[in-house]
């Protein structure tokens, strides 16, 4: 049975009681308050916000991670705690850490059974690599070894400002004390006191009828997504400058936005600017954003590098150009073709790792989630089980079996002749995609040949490879 009542204190020390069901508070101790005592006592130890890890930063600051996933910053010299990092050097240090490791460390603090390498030690090693040379040795101040608990009857909600005089020394103790809580994780609106929160006072609370709005705190989400801590907000101007230098490599080395990061990164990883961004996750995100910007460029904004391609297909009218549109699963297949696919990759991985592309291509507006999952799951089977060469062969065989129908449906042979006569592809990704859409338009893929849009075999390869194969295949029809 879930608890109904909670006991809190106002800043002046007066006790009040809050009912989770009615959302009202009272100064009077409820008659059924003791009925919740067993539940509260049994869960108290489990629900205390006990510090588990202390990550040493700069200028005596530490990033503290508790067993509930709560994290804050603590300065052992001034005994000051804060939800936000106020030290610029510490902020710059965190910005250089691998955010995946920090998120995993939070999960471990919450009880996640991880059998891999010691993530905490890896983070300390990473800190040693990026930290400015100093005489101070922090390597012995990591794990919080003990917590002073207040088991008295008047426990309070966790507040980082209540850190007691126990310091985070550089020795083996590393103790942070002063936490006590009786919160229940069973309640959907679990809350923790944040800096600046105002509890009700005697002047604004009426007996037996206290407005819940005066008491309730900001919610702390308890789902898995809440663990993605916004470390990006700690990156300062210097980090932004590093990001811009890194992004400049994409255009300078003429990376292919229709390829994968694992392949394209090899073209630039010998450049010193590549290491301006230390997290490979962030590198891939920046690359994906750059690719998305390239492929969603308006059909009307033709890049200068596309002039040669446009001259080849000059006969296509502006009206026809406006009517061109990609096939139903064009962008979904494009995302999969760019993704790093492992044997255990599933739809959720693709969507999570490419959320920005899903948003920019507005996929959720055109395809329902179940349909997305069904399509990507089937397509992943081909990517896992067959090589690129095998998928190209399957695509060619599929076109051959449909050749009689496709030949009958071809329209605008003059434009098609200009396209397939090209000896090379356009230099830009936009030019390549435009060429593909024009060939599909000549195939009447939104009319008589619309059946192709629902055939899985039509999406087995990426945009560039599909353009090459179609260009070769359609030559027989002119």
Model confidence, pTM = 0.39
As given in the structure block, the two tokens for residue 232 are 């990006």
Distance CA(144)–CA(35), nearest Å, equals 34
Q: Which residue has the tokens 């002119």?
A: 478
Residues 463, 337: contact at Cβ < 8 Å?
A: yes
Query: CA–CA separation, 339 vs 149, rounded Å?
Result: 48
Q: What does the pLDDT read at residue 1?
A: 54
> In the prediction, which pLDDT does 329 show?
94
Task: Check residue 48 and give its pLDDT.
Answer: 65
User: pLDDT, tens digit, for every residue of 247-298?
Assistant: 889 888 888 887 788 888 888 988 878 888 878 888 888 888 888 777 665 3
Alpha-carbon distances, residue 100 vs 116, 119, 269 (angstroms)? 14, 10, 21
pLDDT of residue 367 exceeding 50, the answer is yes
Task: Assess whether pLDDT exceeds 50 at residue 299.
Answer: no
Stretch 148-157: mean pLDDT, rounded? 37
Query: What's the pLDDT band for 11 if we cut at 50, 70, 90?
Result: low
In contact, 328 and 453? CB cutoff 8 Å: yes
* Confidence at residue 214, expressed as pLDDT on a 0 to 100 scale: 38
pLDDT reading at 410 higher than 80:
yes
- Provide the pLDDT for residue 68: 81
Per-residue buried b or exposed e for 376-408, using 16+ beta carbons within 10 Å of the residue's own CB: beebbebbeeeeeeebbebbeeebeebeeebee
CA–CA separation, 420 and 435 (whole Å): 10
Confidence at 41, pLDDT banded by 50, 70, 90: low
Q: Give tens-digit pLDDT for 194-215.
A: 343 334 433 333 343 433 333 3
End-to-end CA distance of the chain: 76
Match 């907000």 to its residue by tokens: 233
pLDDT at residue 150, as a whole number:
37
Owner of token pair 């039509």: 458
Burial 101-112 (b: 16+ CB within 10 A, else e): bbbbbbbbbeee
Residues paired with 13 in a beta bridge: none
Give yes or no for residue 165 having a pLDDT over 50: no
Structure tokens at 10: 């106002």
More confident residue, 372 or 84: 372
Sheet holding 51-56, edge to edge: 51-56, 61-66, 71-75, 80-82
Q: Which residue has the tokens 């509890």?
A: 199
Tell me what pLDDT residue 7 has. 83
Contact assessment for residue 16 and residue 26, using Cβ atoms and an 8 Å cutoff: yes
- pLDDT band of 146, cuts 50, 70, 90: very low
Which of these ranges, 175-184, 384-393, 408-417, has the smallest mean pLDDT?
A: 175-184
Mean pLDDT (the chain) is 73
* Confidence (pLDDT) at 323: 52
pLDDT at 2: 63
Sign of CA dihedral 281, 285, 286, 290: positive
Strand partners, 55: 63
Residue-level pLDDT at 413: 87
* Mean pLDDT calculated for residue range 40-62: 74
Whole-angstrom distance, CA of residue 143 vs CA of residue 172: 8
Q: What confidence tier does 39 reach under pLDDT thresholds 50, 70, 90?
A: low
Please report the pLDDT score of residue 399 as a whole number: 94
pLDDT band at 452 (very low <50, low <70, confident <90, very high): very high
Could you read off the pLDDT of 97-138 as tens digits, one per residue?
A: 888 888 888 888 888 777 667 888 889 988 888 876 654 444
Bridge partner list, 430: none
Higher-confidence residue of 4 and 369: namely 369
> What is the rounded distance in angstroms from the CA atom of residue 383 to the CA atom of residue 373?
15
């Amino acid at each position: 049975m879930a608890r109904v009542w909670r006991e809190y204190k106002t800043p002046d020390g007066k006790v009040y009681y809050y009912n989770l069901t009615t959302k009202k508070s009272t100064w009077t101790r409820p008659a059924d308050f003791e009925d919740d005592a067993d539940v509260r006592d049994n869960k108290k130890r489990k629900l205390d916000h006990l510090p588990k890890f202390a990550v040493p930063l700069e200028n005596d600051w530490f990033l503290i991670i508790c067993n509930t996933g709560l994290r804050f910053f603590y300065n052992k010299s001034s005994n000051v705690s804060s939800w936000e990092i106020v030290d610029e050097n510490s902020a710059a240090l965190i910005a250089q850490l691998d955010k995946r490791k920090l998120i995993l460390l939070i999960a471990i603090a919450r009880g996640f059974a991880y059998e891999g390498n010691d993530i905490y030690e890896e983070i300390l090693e990473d800190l040693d690599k990026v930290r400015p040379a100093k005489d101070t040795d922090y390597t012995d101040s990591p794990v919080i070894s003990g917590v002073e608990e207040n088991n008295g009857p008047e426990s309070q909600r966790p507040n980082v400002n209540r850190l007691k005089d126990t310091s985070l020394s550089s020795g083996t103790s590393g103790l942070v004390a002063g936490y006590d809580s009786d919160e229940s994780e069973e309640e959907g609106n679990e809350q923790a006191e944040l800096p600046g929160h105002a509890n009700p006072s005697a002047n604004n609370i009426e007996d037996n009828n206290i407005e819940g709005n005066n008491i309730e705190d900001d919610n702390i989400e308890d789902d898995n997504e809440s663990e993605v801590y916004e470390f990006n907000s700690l990156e300062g101007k210097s980090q932004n400058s590093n990001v811009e230098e890194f992004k400049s490599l994409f255009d300078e080395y003429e990376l292919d936005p229709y390829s994968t990061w694992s392949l394209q990164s090899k073209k630039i990883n010998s450049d010193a600017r590549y290491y301006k961004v230390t997290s490979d996750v962030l590198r891939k995100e920046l690359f994906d954003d750059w690719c998305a910007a390239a492929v969603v460029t308006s059909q009307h904004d033709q890049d200068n590098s596309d002039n040669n391609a446009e001259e080849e297909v000059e006969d296509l009218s502006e009206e026809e150009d406006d009517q061109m549109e990609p096939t139903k699963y064009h962008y979904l297949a494009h995302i999969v073709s760019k993704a790093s696919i492992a044997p255990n990759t599933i739809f959720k991985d693709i969507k999570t790792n490419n959320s920005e592309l899903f948003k920019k291509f507005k996929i959720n507006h055109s395809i329902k989630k179940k349909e997305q999952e069904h399509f990507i799951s089937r397509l992943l089977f081909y990517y896992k089980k067959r090589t690129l060469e095998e998928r190209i062969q399957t695509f060619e065989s599929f076109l051959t079996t449909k050749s009689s129908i496709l030949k009958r449906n071809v329209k605008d042979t003059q434009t098609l002749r200009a396209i397939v006569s090209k000896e090379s592809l356009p230099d830009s990704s936009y030019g390549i995609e435009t060429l593909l859409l024009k060939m599909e338009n000549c195939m009447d893929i939104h009319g008589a040949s619309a059946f192709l849009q629902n055939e899985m075999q039509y999406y087995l390869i990426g945009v560039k490879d599909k353009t090459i194969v179609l260009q070769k295949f359609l030559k027989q029809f002119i």
